Structure 1
Amino acid sequence: MYRYLDSRPAGNSSISLLARAIGKIAQTEGDHTTAIPALTLHRRNAPTKPLHCIYGLGLGVVVQGEKQVMLGDAVIDYGPGQSMVTTIDLPVVTHVARASFHEPFLGLVLTLDSRHVVQMASEMELPQPSRGGVYRPISIEALDGPLVEALARLVGLLDEPALLPRLAPLIQQEITIRLLAGPHGSQLQHLVASGSPSQQIAKAVAWLKQNFTRTLHVDELAARAHMSPSTFRQHFRNITGISPLQFQKQLRLQEARQLMLNQDLDAGNAGGQVGYQSASQFNREYSRLFGTPPQRDVRRMRAN
């Protein structure tokens, strides 16, 4: 297992301004959706237990407290003044590592639109990522002042509903441009570089996300990516931290968990809907991933 921390956070004054803007709206503990569909605000008053979830293409920012994300064997810590960009859908385990009632964890997540990223990258004169450059599906970088200011303006727009429909898309576009032009830019460009292994794996991940209930044939998925099966498996594991079969399994189990939680399905029906033909196999793999049998896990989540 390895751990990596990134560079120095941005100035305290700009981070504090963004923290106040988030805290003004996220006054209660939890995850807060907003009038900007791509933007969610987050507050925790105490450290949390590890949670399995899927991170999609987006920008995460911590302005108070600390968070830890585990991707495969990698342990990623980030805190105030740091930003995290995820370039493809990834199954991760995450938890808030530092938070208290008097100094809660505060952060935001802004989902990025892949079409806008591709369009902006094509219109900007950006240096092409080197073929030998290392592609990281999750990158942690220090926030710079202009990006923090753009994020603060976006959050501040939530108090101006009359202006929000006109200005929010413009500020979101500015944020995408600043990400492409900043330290995260090389990782985002790997995603859009035509024919690159990272782009092919991103397409395979997107296909899996849409078709996770189907029987997985890795050879066919490798052919879609124009790779041999062994090369495909190697690139897939290097980028996502797990094998294609493990990735599909986590997608299935995450979806089954949501079906049981939100639609009150029992374990047998939920497992069948996500592609499991054996109830015992579903229960066994669910317990291995989430640490407890399906029905007990759902009761615990509802109680919390």
Structure 2
Amino acid sequence: MSTAFAAATDDALLAAPRTELAARIARLTPADGMHETALAPLQLLRASSTTQCAPAVYDPAICVVAQGRKHVLLDGERYVYDALHYLVVSVTLPVVGQVIDASPEKPYLCLRLSVNPQDIGALMLETDSRTGPGTGIDRGLYSARSTAPLLDAVLRLMRLLDTPQDAPVLAPLAIREIYYRVLIGELGHRLRELATADSRAERIHRAIRVLRTRYSEALRVDELADAACMSASALHHHFKAVTAMSPLQYQKQLRLHEARRLMLSLGLEANAAAHRVGYESASQFSREYKRLFGAPPRQEIDRLRGGELAA
């Protein structure tokens, strides 16, 4: 069987599940934006038009698109996920995202399932590994081709939103199966590496946890290296392999994103937000904010509040 014929056959098998998944997401997302569900790890996203490139922080998750298309840029690398591909984020990453295929008639529809490395590790202990280990250390983000078994598990999870009395018992089973399908998929070794105790990816995850909890502090690379049980040079090399940036660049982006959240959600002025996240110089904060978000703080926040950068 030729590769092209096999791909066409797979696409045909996915057509019906995609159609049902899109209908269910559309029904539960009456407006654009991110929508929480009764199942805590599950969120739904709708966008009725294409969007501008927008910086964001992605937490570990599996993202499955039912309709439309989006891409994510990480250090110039482009990851596309659409109705034929899912996205996996295995570590917290500052990225740039853009919806590139959406319209009012056919909006971009996506579900996001949070991933906990501890849950992945527990599942690994109960199952046999079906794919070999990866070579070296990989990016903490990748896209892979969707499969019929994966979409079937996703649909069973979505259907539970209609029968909340069944969710406490059946939702954990559906979520575990989704994790399992990703783990045995073509790039599952990347997720497995993160959940393997003392692997290089897991050590980088430790350093990321330190940066996330202490982003406003003046941290030295040596401190992060100690947390990861690596030398400073090894940490720098492997951290960049996973996140596409150095630890200090990563910390800077976390600070800027948190300052943005403080201004947008709590109404803080730029100087107060800058101080809260660890900046001593307001002018340096403004310069770096504009470099990342494309406009000075006040102007960019006003634009967000006006809805110009809808999700």
Structure 2-normalised TM-score?
0.91
Q: Provide the secondary structure at the position in 2 that maps to 1:11.
A: helix
Structure 2 residue 160 is matched with structure 1 residue 157: yes
Tell whether the 8 Å contact from 2:131 to 2:188 is kept in structure 1 after alignment. Answer: no
Cα drift, residue 188 of structure 1 = 1.1
Structure 2 distance, partners of 1:17, 1:81, is 14
Selected match of 1:147 from 140, 147, 150? 150
Residue in 2 aligned with 1:40?
43
Q: 5+ unaligned residues in a row in structure 2: which ranges?
A: 1-6
Query: How do 1:230-241 and structure 2 match up within 5 A?
Result: 230-241=233-244
Structure 2 distance, partners of 1:193, 1:250, is 27
Structure 2 distance, partners of 1:164, 1:206, is 31
Q: Provide the secondary structure at the position in 2 that maps to 1:157.
A: helix
Structure 2 distance, partners of 1:130, 1:184, is 10
Residue in 1 aligned with 2:4?
none
Q: Provide the secondary structure at the position in 2 that maps to 1:36.
A: coil
Selected match of 1:130 from 105, 128, 133? 133
Tell whether the 8 Å contact from 1:129 to 1:190 is kept in structure 2 after alignment. Answer: no
Residue in 1 aligned with 2:285?
282
Residue in 1 aligned with 2:191?
188
Change (3 A) 1:115 1:51: same
Q: Which amino acid aligns with 1:151?
A: V
Residue in 2 aligned with 1:4?
none
Change (3 A) 1:131 1:149: closer
Q: Which amino acid aligns with 2:188?
A: G
Residue in 2 aligned with 1:109?
112
Q: Which amino acid aligns with 1:200?
A: R
State the identity as a percent: 38
For structure 1, which segment, 54-63 or 177-186, has the greater mean C-alpha deviation from structure 2 after superposition? 177-186
Structure 2 residue 225 is matched with structure 1 residue 219: no
Tell whether the 8 Å contact from 1:66 to 1:98 is kept in structure 2 after alignment. Answer: yes
Residue in 1 aligned with 2:65?
62
Tell whether the 8 Å contact from 1:85 to 1:184 is kept in structure 2 after alignment. Answer: no
Structure 1 distance, partners of 2:61, 2:210, is 18
Structure 2 residue 172 is matched with structure 1 residue 169: yes
Structure 2 distance, partners of 1:166, 1:198, is 32
Structure 2 residue 84 is matched with structure 1 residue 81: yes
Quote the RMSD (CA, aligned, Å): 1.7
Structure 2 residue 23 is matched with structure 1 residue 20: yes
Q: 5+ unaligned residues in a row in structure 1: which ranges?
A: 1-6
User: How many residue pairs end up in the alignment?
Assistant: 298
Structure 2 distance, partners of 1:104, 1:135, is 32
Tell whether the 8 Å contact from 2:138 to 2:241 is kept in structure 1 after alignment. Answer: no
Residue in 2 aligned with 1:51?
54
Cα drift, residue 136 of structure 1 = 3.1
Tell whether the 8 Å contact from 2:61 to 2:113 is kept in structure 1 after alignment. Answer: yes
Structure 1 distance, partners of 2:71, 2:134, is 30
Structure 2 distance, partners of 1:290, 1:131, is 35
Q: Which amino acid aligns with 1:226?
A: C
Residue in 1 aligned with 2:303?
300
Cα drift, residue 127 of structure 1 = 5.1
For structure 1, which segment, 81-90 or 10-19, has the greater mean C-alpha deviation from structure 2 after superposition? 10-19
Tell whether the 8 Å contact from 1:50 to 1:94 is kept in structure 2 after alignment. Answer: yes
